Amino acid sequence: MYLAGLPVRDELVLELARLVDDPDLARRLEDAFGRMVKVFALTIRDRETIIRSLDDAPPVLEDLRAVLLHEHVGRVRDGLV
């Protein structure tokens, strides 16, 4: 599945669902995994939740956190959030 433009292995999508502190986002990730969704759209709120949840990211999810954080910094810089 692709998240924020990055390919994320199936087992890591489920790991991410366990790590996020938002039950709705966790459920949506699990549902998307079950339906074999190829591209999962993330809202800005989803992205911020994942950034916080991956504060001490497992090494295999560090790239996802880095991309989301880079995008967030750009949105803040541009006054979009």
pLDDT at 79: 85
pLDDT at 3: 96
Output the pTM of the full model: 0.87
Residue 17 makes CB contacts below 8 A (sequence gap 6+) with: 25, 26, 27, 29, 30, 33
Summarize the chain as % helix, strand, coil (round to 5): 65, 5, 30
- Give, for 78, the enclosing helix (H) or strand (E): none
* CA max distance for the chain: 36
pLDDT tens by residue, the chain, 81 residues: 999 999 999 999 999 999 999 999 999 999 999 999 999 999 999 999 999 999 988 899 999 999 999 998 888 888 877
